[in-house]
Amino acid sequence: MAAFYGGRTRPTMLGSAILMLQARRSAAQGRILLGRLAREGVVRNNAIFFAGSVGAGVFGYVFHFAIGRLLGPASYSIVASAVSAVYILTLPCLIVQLVAARFTSVAIAKNDASALAPLARLLTIVSLVVGGVVALAIWLGAGWFASFLQLSDHRVVAILTVSTLLGMLVATNRGLLQGLRRFGALSVNLLADTSSRVVIGVVLVLAGVGPLGAVAAVIAGPAIAYLQSLTVVRRLPGGAPRRMIQIIDVARYAAPTAAAVFGVTYLFNIDVVLARHYLSASQAGIYAAGAVLARVVYFLGLTIAGVMFPEVA
């Protein structure tokens, strides 16, 4: 009997030893990977971008809570639905940012920094054209938008038209910063955007402008962020690039990117817009406040993807 149990013990001990060796090997590989990421600045960049994104997120939540507190549920629902409409209408902004980050990181990897200035000009032109088309469509459909969102003040729709243009322009420069792995400058840009929204929105609401003032702050933030980003983008190296990035290359990459961005952003914002349409004003405001809180987990995880994207592009 002892021999029998002893015979069963040997394979068990051998299996345990193999598992221990595999665990040590995996741990060693993990340490090597972490060391490599640390040397390449990935860990540092992620920490910087995480801190900047959290700070921007805090300002974003402060904006919603402050405006909601000052206006009350009914008036706040106008602001919340307008903000969600901005996110949906500016879907091309996220596409442009990803395209800019991808082609910038590829140019840097190929030691072709001279291609960045032409890329910035190309994407700026694309942003103006696409943003102008979207803005024109919103302007022509102002009555429908106002009716769907139950807006008595059509000036809110006019602000939405401006937001598309500003959003496209600032997205181009943010994509360049992301592709250049300048996450410190990108974090400062995000903080300039969201902090400006809080200050301008609260001041305008306290001044008696009401929901219109809060919605105006939503475009004032990107405008300030765009001006701040120009100080960085203007320092792009000149010279003749080894290979010009063609519009067909951008379009080929943007097509599948658009599908992914549309799916995610649409699902995360359409509920607040529909709540404004189908619920009463006070109910829509309460729902919007809950929706803002529910998104925090999702947006915190985006920093890792934002840092890793130019590394793997």
* Span 190-221, pLDDT tens digits: 999 999 999 999 999 999 888 889 989 988 99
- Angle, helices 116-140 vs 247-278, to 10°: value is 30
Q: Which of 26-35, 37-46, 121-130, 137-146 has the highest mean pLDDT?
A: 121-130
Confidence check: pLDDT of 111 > 60:
yes
Residue 12, classified by CB atoms within 10 Å of its CB into exposed (0-12), middle (13-18) or buried (19+), is exposed
Specify the range with the lowest mean pLDDT, choosing from 4-8, 31-35, 83-87, 93-97: 4-8
pLDDT band for position 1 (cuts 50, 70, 90): very low
CA–CA distance from 137 to each of 76, 132, 149, 162 (Å)?
Answer: 26, 9, 16, 12
Q: Average pLDDT of 124-145?
A: 85
Render pLDDT for 226-237 as a digit per residue (tens, 0 to 9): 999 888 777 777
Look at residues 283, 69, 303 and name the one whose alpha carbon lies nearest to residue 187: 303
Beta-carbon neighbour count of residue 296 at 10 Å? 12
pLDDT by residue (tens digit) across 70-89?
988 878 888 877 777 777 77
3-state secondary structure of 23: helix
Q: Does the pLDDT of residue 4 top 50, yes or no?
A: no
Is a pLDDT exceeding 50 seen at residue 304?
yes
- pTM for this prediction: 0.74
Q: What is the pLDDT of residues 13-29, one digit of tens each?
A: 555 656 666 666 665 55
Q: What is the mean pLDDT of residues 124-148?
A: 84
> 135 versus 225: which is more confidently predicted?
225
64 has pLDDT over 80: yes
CA triple 82-260-269, angle to 5 deg: 20
Retrieve residue 20's tokens.
């221990």
Give the residue-averaged pLDDT of 136-160. Answer: 79
Chain centroid to CA 208: 31
